[in-house]
Amino acid sequence: GSTWHYKFDVQLKSVKRLCNRKSILTVNGRFPGPKLVAREGDRVVVEVVNNVQNNVTVHWHGIRQLQNGWADGPSYITQCPIQTGQTYVYNFTIVGQRGTLFWHAHFSWLRATLYGPLIVLPMQNATYPFGKPDKEVPIIFGEWWNANTEAVINQSLQTGAGPNVSDAYTINGMPGPLYNCSAKDTFKLKVKPGKTYLLRLINAALNDELFFGIASHTITVVEVDATYVKPFNMKILLIGPGQTTNVLLKAKPYYPNATFFMSARPYATGLGTFDNTTTVGLLEYQRPNSSLSSTKLQIFKASLPALNDTAYAAKYSQRLRSLANAQFPANVPQTVDKHFFFTIGLSADPCPKNQTCQGPNGTKFSASMNNISFVLPTTALLQAHFFGQSNGVYNTTFPNNPLFPFNYTGTPPNNTFVSHGTKVVVIPFNTSVEVVLQNTSILGMESHLLHLHGYNFFVVGQGFGNFDPDKDPAKFNLVDPIERNTVGVPSGGWAAIRFRADNPGVWFMHCHFDVHLSWGLKMAWVVLDGKLPNQKLLPPPSDLPKC
Ligand code: C2O
């Protein structure tokens, strides 16, 4: 394969949105950040230079990083942050993956502005199973705050309240015509009649799942999270933070002077407030010649499901099936070596003495898995693991099951408090793992977008209510379940995932809503080395940042 070299200069840039100018962190002065392109089988070398006052790291979301967690990026999990003035070179090979992914900062809330597409093209001479589109277009969703996002999360962590919601959603960095003074800041896609477009959709928003649709057009879903799916048609799709979806859009035969809204707005079931505005991009049909000034411009608006339409969300996710053919098989683990049952949800901490907290009933918001709210260490877990220095950094007591079983989607227990710790699960190389992720309604029902680093997993089952270990496994799909790196665990329900632990190292698993991540909805897996040389974690690069 070839090697692709990139330089990411993290620098401040003054940007104006919603009539509000502010200085934001960017890569190379670009917002959204530059598109990173490579081919399956190729090596990617990205020199990241930190020229801002914040610490920073970059994560290549969805890239498996085989034996090579050093290039994964989550701060204090696989590396110490890149400090001001420092450089770190991310060096990785893309093995057995192709499709749409993205890169983003993985320190605090810096991914609010530090993100961009990561496109893995098929190998030279390989084709797409869905045919060749006439054009490919990345469409990356984001959120815009008029305030400084670090201040937004810090305030939330200090007061114990939920953070302020964003001021706009964006498409390729643009809020679109429905927001204040944003008509000029609108993403436009000009299409030619009859042509086929591959839209590479990426949800880089911090805290919201989004419904997306194009007025008067049906779209064909062909890939999610860089794995091919059995194509299906849908007017509206759902995409959560951390998820990517490739769709084919066939332009109508002839549609002079027509403009269609491409709209996205949240799907949300939480109790808290959220930004319920709509971002719009414009799909414009090319105007044939000049003669059409007499034809009136027509505008078509998309209608999206209700904000809390859980039934639609479920209907959509049930359509997703792996392609699972001879060329792209679904290697679903048919047996399980180790079963895990993790509760995930919001929780509360007692308010510290001499402080007033603005969380529920005067408590402080937190979030947890199996009653543990994860605490980031002050050095990187992967280093501690590799050098055999885990003492005082992490312990291996993360429970395989909840400590206090209760009716997870019914009446919450009286005690919603959790404990805090840096706890991991250790598993031998090649363990076949099943994790049932059980959403809890302790502080209200809300979906969570669980993301696993270093792996794709299969979503073998999902449902509403409490997972039933006697009945539900019989209904698992072990033939063509969707394979992905981020799953939406249904609000008031559960999802069961399986993966084979064939990538040694330390791998973060967390909610991709950054607010829940900050509150502790995260944990890590330590996957031990296997016996063969290609089953061992490689040594760290010499420029790995120090804490
Ligand atoms: Cu895209 Cu740990 O994140």
Under 8 Å between Cβ of 145 and 164 = yes
How do residues 438-465 score in pLDDT, each as one tens digit? 999 888 788 899 999 999 999 999 999 9
Which atom of ligand 1 is least distant from the CA of 508? 2
**Residue 197, CA distances (Å) to 23, 190, 193 in order:** 34, 11, 11
117 and 234 fall within a common domain: no
Asked whether 453 lines ligand 1 (CB < 6 A), one says: yes
Determine the distance separating the centroid of ligand 1 and the alpha carbon of 512, expressed in angstroms: 6
Asked whether 106 lines ligand 1 (CB < 6 A), one says: yes
Determine the distance separating the centroid of ligand 1 and the alpha carbon of 371, expressed in angstroms: 22
For 427, the 3-state DSSP assignment is: strand
| Segments forming the whole domain that contains residue 72 | 1-126
Residue 252 within a domain: yes
CA angle 541, 543, 545 (to 5 degrees): 110
Determine the distance separating the centroid of ligand 1 and the alpha carbon of 116, expressed in angstroms: 13
Asked whether 522 lines ligand 1 (CB < 6 A), one says: no
Which atom of ligand 1 is least distant from the CA of 111? 1
Residue 112 within a domain: yes
How do residues 463-508 score in pLDDT, each as one tens digit? 999 999 999 999 999 999 999 999 999 999 999 999 999 999 999 9
Report how far residue 245's alpha carbon sits from residue 210's, in angstroms, rounded to the nearest whole number. 12
186 and 292 fall within a common domain: yes
Residue 326 within a domain: no
Determine the distance separating the centroid of ligand 1 and the alpha carbon of 107, expressed in angstroms: 10
Which atom of ligand 1 is least distant from the CA of 104? 1
In the DSSP assignment, the letter for residue 94 is -
Residue of the CA atom closest to atom 1 of ligand 1: 61
The contacts of residue 206 (CB under 8 Å, 6+ apart) are 109, 111, 112, 143, 149, 166, 241, 513, 514, 515
Phi, psi for 112 (deg, rounded to 5)? -50, -35
Asked whether 516 lines ligand 1 (CB < 6 A), one says: no
Residue 210 within a domain: yes
Residue 367 within a domain: yes
Closest among 126, 122, 118, 136 to 40, alpha carbons compared: 122
Residue 545 within a domain: no
Report how far residue 276's alpha carbon sits from residue 67's, in angstroms, rounded to the nearest whole number. 42
Strand ranges in 297-390 using DSSP code E only, listed in sequence order: 298-300, 338-349, 364-369, 372-374
Tens-of-pLDDT digits for all 547 residues of the chain? 899 999 999 999 999 999 999 999 999 999 999 999 999 999 999 999 999 999 999 999 999 999 999 999 999 999 999 999 999 999 999 999 999 999 999 999 999 999 999 999 999 999 999 999 999 999 999 999 999 999 999 999 999 999 999 999 999 999 999 999 999 999 999 999 999 999 999 999 999 999 999 999 999 999 999 999 999 999 999 999 999 999 999 999 877 778 999 999 999 987 666 788 999 999 998 765 555 554 566 788 888 999 999 999 999 999 999 999 999 999 999 999 999 999 999 999 999 999 999 998 999 999 999 999 999 999 999 999 999 999 999 999 999 999 888 899 987 777 788 999 999 999 999 999 999 999 998 887 888 999 999 999 999 999 999 999 999 999 999 999 999 999 999 999 999 999 999 999 999 999 999 999 999 999 999 999 999 999 999 999 999 999 9
433 and 490 fall within a common domain: yes
Report how far residue 333's alpha carbon sits from residue 171's, in angstroms, rounded to the nearest whole number. 37
Residue 43 within a domain: yes
Number of domains present in the structure of the chain: 3
What confidence score (pLDDT) does residue 256 get?
73
Asked whether 240 lines ligand 1 (CB < 6 A), one says: no
85 and 155 fall within a common domain: no
